[in-house]
Amino acid sequence: MLQLNRPQVLNALDRQMYLELEGKLAAAAADDQVRVVIFAGRGRAFCAGTDIGGLEGATVEAAQELALVENGAFNAIEDFPKPTLAALHGYALGGGCELALACDYRVVADDTFLGQPEIDMGWLPAAGATFRLPALVGRARAWEMMATGRRIDAAEAERIGLVQRVVAADALMAEVMELGRGLAQQDPQLLLRLKEVLKGGGERKEAVEREAQCLAQFATAAPAQQKIRAFLKRK
């Protein structure tokens, strides 16, 4: 588990934390003992966003460089070859929401508020929300969230497809750990291929070919064949 640990500032992410996240993910990707990565926050919030102190007095060049550092970390999450889970509680705002957007699975405590409030500070999201949020909730809802800066509660986040599961706050980590254990039992190469297939994009013809290749690769391999024979014996 990677836990954001700046509770005194609601785990606001500074430049060093973004770089550390990217480094830890690179190490976890190379470690065969790591099957799943869970992101959580210490204290009363998951993450209140990017530490805006890093933008005080910043030059245009420095602000742009920070955005690229942010995106480097979150792209590393999205491209991570193993399942990534976000355990959200309290607040997941700005960069905190964008970190969650980059994960495969988002489990949310029922006391959580999510949003992209950057417009209230005079700028727009710059760490993936402009392309990841519309992909999840649609362009119209993404526009509304970013144009108004409105915070949404956990129930609304689940209803619009921003998160997959809402649980009681006191059950959050137990639920996430149970989900993580289940995913850790799956074939890691199969989960990696699933991520690749879903990310593929393109025309339907290309998607059909990807699915066919995936079936051919895995259904004919020994693990799947053993399961097929076991299933047939039960009939």
**Does the annotation mark 211 as catalytic?**
no
Instruction: Enumerate the H helices of 48-171 as residue ranges.
Output: 60-78, 95-101, 129-137, 139-148, 154-159
Instruction: List the chain domain ranges.
Output: 2-184, 200-234
pLDDT, residue 158, reads 98
Tokens of 25: 């993910």
Choosing from 98, 175, 203, 211, the catalytic residue is: 98
Distance CA(35)–CA(15), nearest Å, equals 27
Residue range 72-95, pLDDT digits in tens: 999 999 999 999 999 999 999 999
Residue range 90-144, pLDDT digits in tens: 999 999 999 999 999 999 999 999 999 999 999 999 999 999 999 999 999 999 9
Choosing from 118, 144, 158, 175, the catalytic residue is: 118
**Does the annotation mark 178 as catalytic?**
no
- Please list the helix, strand and coil fractions of the chain in percent, rounded to the nearest 5, in that order: 60, 15, 30
- Give the helix/strand (H/E) hosting 6: none
Question: Which position has the higher pLDDT, 216 or 104?
Answer: 104
* Domain 2-184 part of CATH 2.70.50.30: no
